[in-house]
């Protein structure tokens, strides 16, 4: 083996892999195309729906004699000490390498949606909070730290980020998304990918594609998105994360679109992803997704047909464990029912990636190279900063916030004294520890109540839970009202409990019929407001909730989207004034809980008008957020201009901190296309920049708009830039326009290819 060409790092990767493939049996090649989930439960409350049907016991020693493609969630299946887990993973890798003829280890993958999903690992804010920060560099730094922790434990691939664009906020997995806008999702997602990949971890984009557009907001429901919505909204963030981020893996989605499951769609996974976009990495199945072609979608008659459909579409790796790509696939190939070329194609991609990761090298070593500490002070500092930047001050009409340091405060609500109120469903304590109640959290997670008492040591703080998160019991109202009546101000800390498959109010499989606050929380808030004491609503949620019922009746509203282990101090810092809030909404906050699902990306007929008595206008618009300081916007002169359909144009604004304390403004650039050949969103985000300013300081922000950013999918399915009038709107939110620059694009309609410009460059300089 020491002279084997596939072991020689001096040879090109393709030559090494070809030499290896030519010597492999069919069983050895298919073994590279699946993972094994050691220790996964097959029954009980802890399993996902259908997991018991898809998971079988395997003879480990026999299975690995042919090799193994992937090891599934060695750290994310049960609580294990990180150092011991790294050693156990190294031992497993040595066994795999020694059992096969070619000494090839597996790719180890883990979830890392809001941090490494492992016991004692940093629990960062969820992706919806990343979106609220409007801060790609900080998200990139977080992802770099997550990647380093994964590598220190022996992991190679991370199953993140989620690039689904919110289309219906009732969907349970909204907390996992970055927001309702494709440009925000794409830029933040690309930053996460860059950070993870910079640490040597293979980033996996998910869920490709359409998953969040499910009918009725039901998890894994059919998608009925039109061709243009799919191209311009759904696919855009994936293209950006591949081209601008450099992701090396993509996960096929569960959903079907117009009757075609994504996992069996060669037009999506091969023709678009590889032939048009030039992707060369691996495509992995979402967990059990290949088997679902038989059991849920019913487009395959048995595991072998499911394997054939998925391989032909372009899925290289079956996850989380072998079901279809094992014996059924081998038998189908030998029977002439599946071309062996499909196996070779997928195996080549898998082995090329293993070669990139150094897993074919002679000096490959699985042993940890240093200590495995997954919640370092530096990690927590980044988690704190991101949590602070993501808190959104929705309203503060009378200046009740910041709180006086010696005031009497009643803290009321089911989220105030629960550490899990800070975490999303894919954080380890919420995802795994509910099935291990005897195991401690493993990380320090201050609650809002604890953090507020530490933040304001001279304040008199009383607490009453009031009610549970989701149950209708109102027995605690009396005590809550009594505590509020004795206080100068009441903090109503309400929101979600993250969980899986109906065990929470937010999370995978935790979809809702409308956007009312869960359980009796809305009634509790009514009772608190009725006391006449100023009520500050603090929301810790995984989705937006309808707040119109209380508009004008609350002293202030603070929104935090599952802000992670440092979320309690971050929220308390905003309440005390130590932190000047700078978060902006990545999703609209609705006025009423029912009615049509609505995001801000609406064509004219989707806006309020005389044709319907229903007004979908949100209470708080996408991009909205307030501060404890004020900002003056001074736009530069921008006379009407003409540029070609391949031209560019600069639009500039000077932003000045007109208040007495440091703060951050998020300057947003929106595009309005008055007339086009197909209907267009009234406005859509095409650029933004977060600007930190000291009191009195001014900075000049210049956006370089390129005509490519006005492109869309026309009636023939081509992406085009059309001549005609455009408006560039500098704004503090999608509904708060500060300045408009008018342009006319001249020349012929341009048809764009894969090399179109995706980003609006933004430059910040000293004000003149």
In the predicted model, what is the mean pLDDT of residues 244-249? 98
* Backbone torsions φ then ψ of 620, nearest 5 degrees: -125, 125
Q: What is the pLDDT of residues 696-721, one digit of tens each?
A: 999 999 999 999 999 999 999 999 99
Quote the tokens at residue 335: 């029977």
d(CA 531, CA 3): 81
d(CA 39, CA 54): 14
User: HSE (CB half, 13 Å, CA atoms) of 400?
Assistant: 23
Q: Which H or E run contains 72?
A: strand 70-72
Residue 631, beta-bridge partner list: 657
Residue 53 scores a pLDDT above 70: no
How high is the pLDDT of residue 42?
Answer: 57
Residue 719, beta-bridge partner list: 713
How high is the pLDDT of residue 71?
Answer: 97
How high is the pLDDT of residue 370?
Answer: 86
Q: Which H or E run contains 692?
A: strand 684-693
Asked if 130 and 189 touch (Cβ cutoff 8 Å), the reply is no
The model's confidence at residue 38, banded by pLDDT at 50, 70 and 90, is confident
Q: Could you give the 3-state DSSP secondary structure of residue 262? A: helix
Residue 47 scores a pLDDT above 70: no
Asked if 759 and 696 touch (Cβ cutoff 8 Å), the reply is no
In the predicted model, what is the mean pLDDT of residues 74-91? 96
d(CA 504, CA 495): 11
How high is the pLDDT of residue 578?
Answer: 98
Q: What is the pLDDT of residues 19-28, one digit of tens each?
A: 999 999 999 9
In 3D space, the residue among 284, 202, 272, 191 whose CA is nearest the CA of residue 239 turns out to be 272
Alpha carbon dihedral 764, 765, 767, 768, in 10-degree steps, equals -140
Residue 370 CA: distances (Å) to CA of 20, 83, 236: 32, 10, 39
d(CA 579, CA 558): 13
d(CA 485, CA 347): 68
d(CA 31, CA 69): 6
What is the per-residue DSSP string for 114-160? TB--STT---PPPHHHHHHHT-HHHHHHHHHHHHHHHHHTT--EEE-
What is the per-residue DSSP string for 588-609? PBPSSSSSS---S---GGGS--
Residue 759 scores a pLDDT above 90: yes
Residue 365 scores a pLDDT above 60: yes
d(CA 394, CA 621): 10
Would you call 519 exposed, middle or buried from its count of C-beta atoms within 10 A (0-12, 13-18, 19+)?
A: buried
d(CA 564, CA 420): 9
Residue 201 scores a pLDDT above 90: yes
Q: What is the mean pLDDT of the chain?
A: 95
How high is the pLDDT of residue 48?
Answer: 65
How high is the pLDDT of residue 46?
Answer: 56
Q: Which residue has the tokens 């993870």?
A: 196
Domain 631-766 has CATH 3.40.50.620: no
d(CA 10, CA 519): 63
Residue 615 scores a pLDDT above 50: yes
The reported pTM is 0.97
Asked if 200 and 147 touch (Cβ cutoff 8 Å), the reply is yes
Quote the tokens at residue 642: 């003409």
Note the helical H segments in 32-135.
51-54, 60-63, 82-99, 127-133
Residue 222 CA: distances (Å) to CA of 231, 266, 297, 553: 17, 18, 10, 40
How high is the pLDDT of residue 55?
Answer: 60
In the predicted model, what is the mean pLDDT of residues 686-690? 98
Asked if 326 and 311 touch (Cβ cutoff 8 Å), the reply is no
Q: The domain 391-601 is classified under which CATH number: 1.25.40.10, 3.40.50.1450, 3.30.450.20, 3.40.50.1700? A: 3.40.50.1700
Q: Could you give the 3-state DSSP secondary structure of residue 761? A: strand
Residue 595 scores a pLDDT above 80: no
pLDDT above 90 as % of the chain: 92
d(CA 414, CA 469): 6
Q: Where are the domains of the chain?
A: 7-356, 391-601, 631-766
Q: What is the pLDDT of residues 320-356, one digit of tens each?
A: 999 999 999 999 999 999 999 999 999 999 999 999 9
Give the angle subtended at the CA of 276 by the CAs of 270 and 280, to the nearest 5°. Answer: 60
In the predicted model, what is the mean pLDDT of residues 117-145? 98
How high is the pLDDT of residue 754?
Answer: 86
Residue 596 scores a pLDDT above 90: no
Q: The domain 7-356 is classified under which CATH number: 3.40.50.720, 3.20.20.300, 3.40.50.740, 3.40.50.10740? A: 3.20.20.300
User: HSE (CB half, 13 Å, CA atoms) of 410?
Assistant: 25
Q: Which residue has the tokens 């530490």?
A: 454
How high is the pLDDT of residue 51?
Answer: 60
Quote the tokens at residue 645: 């359909």
The model's confidence at residue 1, banded by pLDDT at 50, 70 and 90, is very low
């Amino acid at each position: 083996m020491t002279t084997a060409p596939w072991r020689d790092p001096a040879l090109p990767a393709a030559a090494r892999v070809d030499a290896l493939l030519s010597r492999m049996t069919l069983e050895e090649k298919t073994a590279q195309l699946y993972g094994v989930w050691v220790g996964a439960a097959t029954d009980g409350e802890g399993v996902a729906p259908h997991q018991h049907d898809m998971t079988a016991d395997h003879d480990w020693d026999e299975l690995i004699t042919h090799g193994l493609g992937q090891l599934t969630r060695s750290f994310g299946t049960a609580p294990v000490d990180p150092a011991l887990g790294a050693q156990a993973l190294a031992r497993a890798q040595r066994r795999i390498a020694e059992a096969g003829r070619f000494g090839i280890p597996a790719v180890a993958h883990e979830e890392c949606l809001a941090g490494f999903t492992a016991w004692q690992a940093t629990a960062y804010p969820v992706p919806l909070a990343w979106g609220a920060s409007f801060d790609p560099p900080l998200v990139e730094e977080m992802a770099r730290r997550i990647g380093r922790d994964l590598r220190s434990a022996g992991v190679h691939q991370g199953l993140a980020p989620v690039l689904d664009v919110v289309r219906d906020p009732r969907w349970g997995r909204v907390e996992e998304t970055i927001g309702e806008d494709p440009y925000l999702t794409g830029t933040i997602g690309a930053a996460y990918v860059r950070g993870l990949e910079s640490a040597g971890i293979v980033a996996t984009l998910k869920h490709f594609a359409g998953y969040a557009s499910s009918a009725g907001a039901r998890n894994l429901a059919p998608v009925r998105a039109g061709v243009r919505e799919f191209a311009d909204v759904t696919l855009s963030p994936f293209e950006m994360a591949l081209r601008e981020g450099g992701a090396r893996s993509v996960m096929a989605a569960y959903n079907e679109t117009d009757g075609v499951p994504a996992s069996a769609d060669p037009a999506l996974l091969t023709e678009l992803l590889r032939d048009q976009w030039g992707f060369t990495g691996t495509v992995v199945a979402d967990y059990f997704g290949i088997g679902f072609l038989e059991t849920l979608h019913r487009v395959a008659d048995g595991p072998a047909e499911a394997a054939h459909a998925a391989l032909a579409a372009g899925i290289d790796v079956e996850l989380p464990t072998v079901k279809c790509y094992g014996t059924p696939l081998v038998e189908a190939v030998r029977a002439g029912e599946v071309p062996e070329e499909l196996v070779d194609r997928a195996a080549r991609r898998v082995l090329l990636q293993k070669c990139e990761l150094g897993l074919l090298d002679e000096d490959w070593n699985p042993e940890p190279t240093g200590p495995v500490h997954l919640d370092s002070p530096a990690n927590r500092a980044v988690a704190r900063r991101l949590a602070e930047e993501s808190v959104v001050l929705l309203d503060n009409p009378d200046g009740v916030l910041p709180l006086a340091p010696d005031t009497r405060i009643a803290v009321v609500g089911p989220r105030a004294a629960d550490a899990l109120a800070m975490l999303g469903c894919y954080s380890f304590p919420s995802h795994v520890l509910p099935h291990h109640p005897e195991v401690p959290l493993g990380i320090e997670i201050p609650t809002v109540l604890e953090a507020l008492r530490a933040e304001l040591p001279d304040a008199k703080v009383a607490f009453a839970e009031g009610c549970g998160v989701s149950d209708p019991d109102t027995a605690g109202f009396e005590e809550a009202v009594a505590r509020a009546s004795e206080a100068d101000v009441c903090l109503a800390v309400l929101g979600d409990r993250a969980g899986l498959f109906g065990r929470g109010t937010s999370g995978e499989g935790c979809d809702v019929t409308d956007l009312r606050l869960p359980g009796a929380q809305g009634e509790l808030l009514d009772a608190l407001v009725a006391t006449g004491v100023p009520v500050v609503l603090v929301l810790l949620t995984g989705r937006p909730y309808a707040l119109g019922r209380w508009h004008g009746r609350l002293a202030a509203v603070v929104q935090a989207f599952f802000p992670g282990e440092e979320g309690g101090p971050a929220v308390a810092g905003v309440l005390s004034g130590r932190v000047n809030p700078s978060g902006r909404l990545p999703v609209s906050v609705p006025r009423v809980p029912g009615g049509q699902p609505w995001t801000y990306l609406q064509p004219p007929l989707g806006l309020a008008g005389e044709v319907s008595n229903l007004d979908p206008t949100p209470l708080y618009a996408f991009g909205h957020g307030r501060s404890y300081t004020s900002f003056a916007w001074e736009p530069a002169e921008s006379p009407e201009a003409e540029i070609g359909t391949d031209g560019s144009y600069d639009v500039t604004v000077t932003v000045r901190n007109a208040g007495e304390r440091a703060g951050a403004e998020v300057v947003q650039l929106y595009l309005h296309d008055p007339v086009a050949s197909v209907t267009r969103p009234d406005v859509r985000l095409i650029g933004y920049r977060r600007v930190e300013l000291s009191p009195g300081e001014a900075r000049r922000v210049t956006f370089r708009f390129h005509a490519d950013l006005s492109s869309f999918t026309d009636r023939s399915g081509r992406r085009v830039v059309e001549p005609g009038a455009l408006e560039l709107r500098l704004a503090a939110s999608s509904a708060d326009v500060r300045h408009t620059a008018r342009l006319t694009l001249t020349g012929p309609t341009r048809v764009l290819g894969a090399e179109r410009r995706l980003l609006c460059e933004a430059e910040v300089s000293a004000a003149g």
